[in-house]
Structure 1
């Protein structure tokens, strides 16, 4: 058993930590205030190869292991939480499009996505369908060598800026999960419209509602066989939920480090406030929980990299790490006193950002159902 990162991974950590500190953190507040998409940072991340980690080598990707991708996500989150959405969605696109797309689709979309010039979103959630992803209302009907797509997708991260979307629609409603099919849909086609959502946090990512009114795409834009879409996205979610957990923990960890530095300097009653147990104990508890959650994340990614089941561990960290991170950042805000409550310090923004991923890619309640199912079988489920 080896808990050490490789020398290459340690060097990657140093490089990305410096990048996040110098190029992302100073601009994060501006992106949040203006809800401005960080195109410059996006292209810089593309230059660093961060969007090609899971994409095929022949299209400019690296096909790196998931553990390394987890390291990248955690480090980028220390500088700006919204930028981690690009890593998650590029990772899913590398897997889903890279494995299932037609050659023309992969050539058209993977190189610009990897370079940070094109943004690919993922469209699963609908106004009346979130956790119950097998019962989609969005329809795709085959007409000769085309599909006609009609429906609506809601809560789509990067929806206002994306150039294309990995869209999941039902091609056979009676088949439930086995009737869901994946498509690559360019978002400049006739019949596509977008409406922005005004979110509490992660404002730079441009979440949106996307409507598809008889949108026609070539049959070649189908990703994999009909009926395989649900299983494609669930496989992707198994690793992406761990990346979400590490993004949250990255934001919590940097908040904790800033707070530890602050309480050693801040004086009250004639001594640094770190000497008061009411200050030091919450920090010690948060550090303990963060370490435990982080190593569970990396164990899940290690299992995935070795081809072993990791659904249970993925669901465990997805319900635990976002909640733990919210609690930690909140405690850090409080330990900074009334200045912590202002937008002059980053805690209120990080708190708003992380809360969103207590919901996205599976709520805590659904994740606990998954854990129970993996532990005790389907007889533990309420449906």
Structure 2
């Protein structure tokens, strides 16, 4: 086993570290206060190729391996956790469309996605079902060469800034998870409306609801086989859950490093507070937990690159790693004392932002079910 970076990985992470320190971290708190879509930073990331990491080269992407994409998203999270959603969404959509969409649809959208010229949201969750994704009620009914979509999608990342959405809709009402299809829906189509949420964190990603009222899309916008989208989506989640884990690790590790620097300089009773084991031991424990989490996420992506099973490993990345990272950031806030609770430092914001990943893309409870089924078999869990 070789845990060293390849030359490409070392070059990419080195370039990103400079960009993160000079550009992303400096604007992190301002973007939270503005609550606006971060257009300037988004374009800078696009110029660095960050939205095409996993998109095939024939569609102007970087076509990099999963581990390298993970290293990139971890680095970006150190500067601005929320900008990682651009990488995460493009990874999900790019993977899904590259494997399943028609050639004309790929040619139309993937180069624009890689260039940052198009933003595509993933529209799966509905008001009555998040974890039970197979229970969606949004309908797509065939009408000649078109499908007509009706329904409501909830908790859609970037929906207020997106150009299109991959909308999962029921095309066979009696087939359960085997009756779900995916469609590329331009969000300027007649019958589409959007409503923003007022979230506690990750404000600039403009999460919200999507309403579809007799929205007509051509059959050519079907992604993959009719009634075959659910399995493809679940396979893609296995990959993006490891990316989410590394997003959280990046934000938490940056916070820990800032805390180590602060507690080394902050003095009480005539000495640095780091000389107290009540300060240094939590830092040691936090670093240990983050290192274990980080390497587990990277191993999961390595398994993906090798086409080896990684369903349970991905569930650990999503079910356990965000909890570890939220705990670390909370403890770092406490080690800063009352100053950590202010908005003069980015710690409270990272806590708010990372908390969202306790819920998104599958709750901890769902991930534990996946892990338990891996251990016992589905018939026992």
- The 5 Å alignment of 1:47-126 reads 47-126=47-126
Q: CA deviation at 1:379?
A: 1.9
Unmatched segments (≥5 aa) in structure 1? none
Residues of 1 paired with 2:303 and 2:98: CA distance?
22
Q: CA deviation at 1:104?
A: 2.4
Residues of 1 paired with 2:375 and 2:73: CA distance?
28
- The 5 Å alignment of 1:349-360 reads 349-360=349-360
For the pair 1:268 / 2:265, whether they are aligned, the reply is no
Q: CA deviation at 1:7?
A: 2.5
- The 5 Å alignment of 1:228-267 reads 228-267=228-267
Partner of 1:342: 342
TM-score, with normalisation over the residues of structure 2? 0.99
Q: CA deviation at 1:160?
A: 0.4
Q: CA deviation at 1:156?
A: 0.2
Partner of 1:13: 13
TM-score, with normalisation over the residues of structure 1? 0.98
Partner of 1:219: 219
Are the counterparts in 2 of residues 44 and 116 from structure 1 also a CA contact under 8 Å? Answer: no
Q: CA deviation at 1:103?
A: 2.4
Partner of 2:325: 325
Partner of 2:180: 180
Q: Which stretches of structure 1, 4 residues or longer, exceed 2 Å deviation after superposition?
A: none
Residues of 1 paired with 2:30 and 2:110: CA distance?
29
- Kindly report the root-mean-square deviation, in angstroms, between the aligned alpha carbons of the 2 structures: 0.8
Partner of 1:375: 375
Q: SS of the counterpart of 1:174?
A: coil
Q: SS of the counterpart of 2:320?
A: helix
Residues of 1 paired with 2:37 and 2:20: CA distance?
17
Q: CA deviation at 1:8?
A: 2.1
Partner of 1:150: 150
Moved more, 94-103 or 366-375: 94-103
Q: SS of the counterpart of 2:167?
A: strand
Residues of 2 paired with 1:378 and 1:102: CA distance?
34
Residues of 2 paired with 1:12 and 1:113: CA distance?
20
Q: CA deviation at 1:290?
A: 0.4
Partner of 2:204: 204
Unmatched segments (≥5 aa) in structure 2? none
Q: CA deviation at 1:2?
A: 1.3
Q: SS of the counterpart of 1:242?
A: helix
CA deviation vs aligned residue, 1:246-301 (integer Å, no higher than 9, x gap): 00000000000011111111111000111000000000000000001111111111
Residues of 1 paired with 2:221 and 2:206: CA distance?
25
Q: How many residues align?
A: 381
Partner of 2:287: 287
CA deviation vs aligned residue, 1:78-126 (integer Å, no higher than 9, x gap): 0001111111110011111122222222222111211112101000000
Q: SS of the counterpart of 1:173?
A: coil
Q: SS of the counterpart of 1:134?
A: helix
